[in-house]
Structure 1
Amino acid sequence: MFSTNYAPEHSGIGPYAAQTAEHLAALRAEVHVLAGMPHYPAWRVHDDYRGRWRAEEVRRGVHLHRRRHYVPSRQTALLRAMYEASFLAHGWFRPPSMRPDIVLSQMPSLAGAVLGARCAHRHEVPHVVVVQDLMGAAAAQSGISGGRRVAFLVAGAEARVLRSAALVGVVHESFVKPVSAIGVPASRIRVVPNWTHVSCPTGDRSAVREELGWHRDEVVVLHSGSMGLKQGLEVLVDAARITVGDTPRIRFVLMGDGNQRSRLERLAEGLPNLDVVPPAKDEKFPDVLAAADLLAVTQRASVRDMSLPSKLTSYFAAGRPVIAAVTAQGGTAQEVRRSGAGVVVEPENPRALLDAVRQLSFERDRSAALGAHGPEYVRERLGREAGLMRIAALLGEALKTKASRSRAAAVG
């Protein structure tokens, strides 16, 4: 497997890469992963790995080969290119020594997918790519400085990798059309939804709120996860500014880390109803989500078909209503509507978001019904075992197709 992100990263792609690799190892496969140094979502290398060029370790049966790479503290097209290029160079010239039967790449990153394609080609084995984010679309839509100017270059490299893959897995149906549009036959695309990688909440909700300093008579709107450009979290800051002094009090909480955190902290100065806090510990995370009244997912208006926030699976498991301030035609909106666990409002519009907050906080029965749909949706569609089995089946299909072609060639 090639994945820049991997555990102990606790959000984004890292948990999915780690759980996939560990599942395959539990099925008695010998699993090797070329990964970067842990750095997400803070965009700084974890203290335990700082200053190391390479690291070899075995984690829950998985052989990890970590390579040092540049980690930018802020996001521009140039700095992101340096991030990708450094991982590509270190993996290219210092690849792990192995002879695989099959190669699995997680995209992003683009560098990891290019390395995966090279490894598969060298050993004449199938290459399977799981698309978590579309890199070309991300460059154009995320708001990264200089992104639009390089989007066609990124999209071109991405297209070459995906067209050469034996099979392409996409985490949502909304990715099928853009992946087909770059030349990947529909016969080689499979939908492999992500799963809920956190446990269900078990703590006493009132006690957790008290521990967090959230009062019983206030409405808590929580955003958890990466604080990056594409999230457009300024909408929550603007909403908090509008509601200062309101009764009942609406408290906005931005919990997580990312390259925009320091900027958001500056914007939040002087706002008594907005907290910017670090990520919760893994064991506390489900209970913190469940302690909120409403869970917010936000995206810039320009974000349409580039990604599906991984936080949604955790939100649904928490059993709280979701407010999605996202483009109505995008995959995020589709997923929230399909789950029945939340509402969709116009992105980058704080007053539209506040209207939804006030309405759901007043309509308690409706709010409770929306929240209850989340765990139901998790049980029906987002179970971990089912999600991992879909990935294993994807690999099995690629191996079976290769074996069939080999037999046909031999007969011919």
Structure 2
Amino acid sequence: MSAAAPRTPLHDRRILVVSTNYAPELTGIGPYATQLAEHWAATTARADVLTGMPHYPSWRTDEEYRGVWRTTEHRGGVHVHRRRHYVPPRQTALRRGLFELTVLGHGLLAPPPGRPDAVVAQMPSLAGGVVGARIARRHGVPYVPVVQDLMGAAAAQSGIRGGGRAASAAAAAERYALRDATLVGVIHESFVPGVMALGVDPARIRTVPNWTHVQGPAADRAATRARLGWQPDTPVLLHSGNMGLKQGLDVLVDLARLAPDVRVVLMGDGNQRGALRARSAGLANLDFLPPAAAEDFTDVLAAADVLAVTQRASVLDMSVPSKLTSYFVSGRPVVASVAEGGGTAEEVRRSGAGVLVPPEDPAALLVAVRELAADHAAAGRLGARGAAYVAQHLSREAGLARFDALLAEALDNARGNARGSARR
């Protein structure tokens, strides 16, 4: 007779995850929230998710959800509670504010039924953080926000119209969402000073890096290039993911204009896609591709010669792109056109998977791309280091285990506080 599996601190718990982004979204924080909730659905008593309507990265509500105000789905063992919200087709401070207000209003007016044992909120959504804090406070249960982006800093650094005026309001909402948290998770240590500046005791901050949420490439690289129409002797520079303001993707359009011999590929969607198309009019060597299907995604990344991560020069401590974990697993070298002192630069240095160039400098970016495209051995070494970094530090199993430990610690802290109050 085999021994029963050991019970864990989370075994009989009901967990609520608050995340504005969730499956079927394939990029950004949606895949992380999805895999986390499905993991807890398989290992705890019950997992619920309070989320919005799928809209990212296109910033258009998916067709099947248009006109839907409220719905509950069952996906991967998870009870997914969706609430309607405004989706801004273009990003300004006012439009972003309306987005957050509708997420906040519908989340507070129609929370999931029942009492959770703990609430975990994925932020950058300010409203999601506030909703999570309010639900946890109402039920007197542990609350653990996870900071994926710092929105106050983002408003100031990303170049969004009216962002300077919105930064203080965003920081105030973040302060509210974080101040009474049992523990606060951050995906990179570069966020710690910003979280501390919002009034969080550093003793309550834990680093929980994102993991790679995709499988490694499987298809023949030459066959994928042929299918995509990429010539064997043409260097291909690919950027995948959101096309927003903070990415500063104008630098890739300018590089394409400087180098007609290099094929530049922008794969994904976002509120700046239209502006980038207009800016690139007449460039025969710049392609726009829709987001690749999940089963094809890393094969397309691996077919490129160089993968680009770009940010505006002003972006320092508010974001570490989730695309990096997918880039690393693809086994291709990364060129990062980002500020030297930011978290993105630190992650590229730590992985050893790429090279850094100054942000918003297409000539410097072009030099790095040409060098890597010409030196196959160097490109292979960098790509191999990225894959090894993922295997050692960013596996899904390791990432989910870190979140299990974070939540178990929060629950244990709550039990300790309850015992202390009873003795008093």
- TM-aligned CA deviation for residue 219 of structure 1: 0.3
Instruction: Answer yes or no: is 1:201 the counterpart of 2:213.
Output: no
Tell me the distance in 1 between the aligned counterparts of 2:198 and 2:130.
Answer: 16
Shift, 1:29, TM fit? 3.0
Matches within 5 A, 1:9-24: 9-24=25-40
SS at match of 1:275: strand
Q: Displacement of 1:150 after TM fit?
A: 1.4
Report the CA distance between 1:182 and its aligned residue.
1.8
Aligned length: 408
Determine the C-alpha separation between the residues in 2 that align with 1:274 and 1:293.
15
**Counterpart Cα distance in 1 of 2:114 and 2:264:** 49
**Alignment partner of 1:235 is 2:247:** no
* Counterpart in the other structure of 2:12: none
Whether the aligned pair in 2 keeps the contact of 1:257 and 1:278 (CA below 8 Å) is yes
Which residue of 304, 310, 315 corresponds with 1:303?
315
Match of 2:342 in 1: 330
1:140 is matched by which residue type in structure 2?
A
Question: By how many angstroms is 1:289 displaced?
Answer: 0.3
Q: Does 1:319 align with 2:319?
A: no
Aligned to 2:385: 373
Paired with 1:226 and 1:28, the residues of 2 have a C-alpha distance of 33
- CA-CA distance at 1:364 after TM superposition: 2.2
Alpha-carbon displacement from aligned partner over 1:187-211 (angstroms, at most 9, x marks no partner)? 1000000000000001000000000
What is the match of residue 11 of structure 2?
none
Deviates more, 1:174-183 or 1:210-219: 174-183
Is the CA contact (8 Å cut-off) linking 2:130 and 2:176 kept in structure 1? no
Distance in 2 of aligned mates of 1:122 and 1:361? 56
Structure 2 residue identity aligned to 1:384: R
1:292 alignment partner, one of 304, 310, 329: 304
- Which position in structure 2 is the counterpart of 1:250? 262
Q: SS of 1:344's equivalent?
A: strand
Q: 1:107 maps to what in 2? A: 123
SS of residue matched to 2:40: helix
Displacement of 1:363 after TM fit? 2.3
SS in 1 for 2:114: coil
Aligned counterpart for 2:374 among listed residues 362, 382, 395? 362
Within 2, Cα distance between the matches of 1:140 and 1:388?
32
Gaps of 5+ in 2: 1-16
Structure 1 match to 2:159: 143
Aligned to 1:154: 170
1:156 Cα offset (Å): 1.3
Q: Which amino acid aligns with 1:295?
A: L
Amino acid aligned to 1:250: V
Question: What are the superposed Cα offsets for residues 48-89 of structure 1, whole Å, 9 maximum, x if unpaired?
Answer: 111100111111110011000000000000000000001111
Choose the corresponding residue for 1:350, options 362, 381, 386: 362
Return the offset for 1:28: 2.7
Q: String of CA shifts for 1:5-25, please: whole Å, max 9, x gaps.
A: 001000001000000000001
Distance 1:285 1:360 in 2: 22
One of 138, 145, 169 as aligned partner of 1:129: 145
Structure 2 counterpart of 1:37, from 53, 74, 77: 53
Q: Following the alignment from structure 1 to structure 2, what is the Cα–Cα distance between the partners of residues 287 and 358?
A: 22
Q: SS where residue 228 of structure 1 aligns?
A: coil
1:366 positional shift: 1.3
3-state DSSP class of the match of 1:295?
strand
1:274 counterpart = 2:290: no
Q: Does 1:118 align with 2:134?
A: yes
Three-state SS of the structure 2 residue aligned to 1:276 is: strand
1:254 is displaced (CA, Å) by: 0.3
Q: What are the residue-to-residue correspondences of 1:36-55 with 2, within 5 Å?
A: 36-55=52-71
Shift in Å, 1:282: 0.9
Q: What is the alpha-carbon distance in structure 1 between the residues aligned to residue 44 and residue 350 of structure 2?
A: 36
Say yes or no: does 1:26 pair with 2:42.
yes
TM-score by length of 2: 0.95
Q: State the identity %.
A: 62
2:365 is paired with a residue whose SS is: helix
Q: 1:160: Cα distance to partner?
A: 2.0
Structure-1-length-normalised TM-score: 0.98
Amino acid at match of 1:70: Y
> Cα deviations across residues 152-186 of structure 1 (Å, max 9, x unaligned)?
11101101211111100000010111111221111
Match of 2:23 in 1: 7
CA deviations 1:254-277 (Å, max 9, x no partner) are 000000011111112110111011
CA RMSD of aligned residues (A): 0.8
Asked whether 1:386 is paired with 2:402, we answer: no
Counterpart in the other structure of 1:263: 275
Residue 85 of structure 1 corresponds to which residue in structure 2? 101
Distance in 2 of aligned mates of 1:397 and 1:372 = 35
> Which residue is 1:96 aligned to?
112
- 3-state secondary structure, aligned to 2:226: helix
Q: Distance in 2 between matches of 1:286 and 1:217?
A: 21
Range moving further from structure 2, 334-343 or 176-185: 176-185
- Asked if structure 1 preserves the Cα contact closer than 8 Å seen for 2:123 and 2:146, the reply is yes
Distance 1:90 1:305 in 2: 30
Aligned partner (choices 380, 400, 412) of residue 412 of structure 2: 400
Q: Deviations over 1:205-254 (max 9, x none)?
A: 0000000000001000000000000000000000000112xxxx210000
Q: Is the 8 A contact 1:268 1:275 kept in 2?
A: no
Amino acid in the other structure paired with 1:242: L
Spell out structure 1 runs of 4+ moving beyond 6 A: none
| 1-structure distance, mates of 2:250, 2:206 | 35
Q: Which residue identity is paired with 1:362? A: A
Structure-1 separation of matches of 2:99 and 2:302: 35
Deviates more, 1:173-182 or 1:184-193: 173-182
Q: In 2, distance between residues paired with 1:56 and 1:94?
A: 12
